[in-house]
Structure 1
Amino acid sequence: MHDLYYKGRIHTRENYVKSGDNFERTAKLGTAKNPLTLVVNSDERKSELEKLVADNEAFANISVDNAVDENISELDAIVNKLITSKAAKTPNRNDPCSCDSGKKYKKCCG
């Protein structure tokens, strides 16, 4: 079939292919396909980081180089993830009050 439909309309399959989902995403950082790249100054520091990487169930390529500054920023990003916090639930009107007065919330603190 040719690329144009009746009255010059563009083929719908080509439009889908151009704007479809992207299934070729890069692997998440710290996985076996995309390991962390860390540079340390000593073998002792390397053994510390290997333990930390194993505790966080990640994969890393750790190299020892005395001439270069230590670079563990990728590991810091994985270890220090931000945790979403939830606000405390406000009681409903007919729930008992949280101040332990024995009254309903609507009669006491509401």
Structure 2
Amino acid sequence: MSKLFFKGRIETRKNHVKSGYNVNRYIKAGSADAPITVTVACEARKTEIEAITQEQAIIANIVVDATREENTVELDTLLNRPTTATAEKTPSRNEPCLCGSGQKYKKCCA
């Protein structure tokens, strides 16, 4: 049953809708509300990360700790977002063929 046909108390429905995975989608990682945490080993690497975050307008907490392993996973995921894949449109049966023969697609290359 969809939420449009809910016949119970509204307060109960709102509590149900608020629970689940990633309910605060309006809060983006790397913003002031949710800064990312990056751990680096030296000050030189820290300046590199600061330059990258300023260029990309990302807010990050950079921790310099030589005893811990470098952790830039959150920064890498923000910088390497996947792009949308678009497929090339195939012609319909009655459109001219793509090979340039002048025939309809259904009689030439289909």
TM bucket normalised to smaller: 0.7 to 0.9
Residue 34 of structure 1 deviates from its aligned partner by 0.6
- Aligned pairs (5 A) from 1:1-110: 15-20=9-14, 21-22=17-18, 25=24, 27-110=27-110
Distance 2:31 2:104 in 1: 52
- For 2:42, the aligned partner's letter is S
- Residue 13 of structure 2 aligns to which amino acid in structure 1? S
Secondary structure of the corresponding residue to residue 107 of structure 2: coil
Q: Which has the higher helix share?
A: 2
- Report the CA distance between 1:40 and its aligned residue: 0.5
Q: Which structure 2 segments of 5+ residues have no match?
A: 1-7
Match of 1:6 in 2: none
**What CA distance in whole angstroms lies between the structure 1 residues aligned with 2:62 and 2:49?**
8
Deviating 4+ runs (over 6 angstroms)? none
SS in 2 for 1:106: helix
Alpha-carbon distance in structure 2 between the residues aligned to 1:97 and 1:78: 42
Q: Distance in 2 between matches of 1:95 and 1:31?
A: 49
Over the residues paired in the alignment, what is the CA RMSD in angstroms? Answer: 2.1
Distance in 2, matches of 1:28 and 1:50, equals 19
Distance 1:77 1:50 in 2: 16
Q: Which secondary structure state, in structure 2, belongs to the residue aligned with residue 25 of structure 1?
A: coil
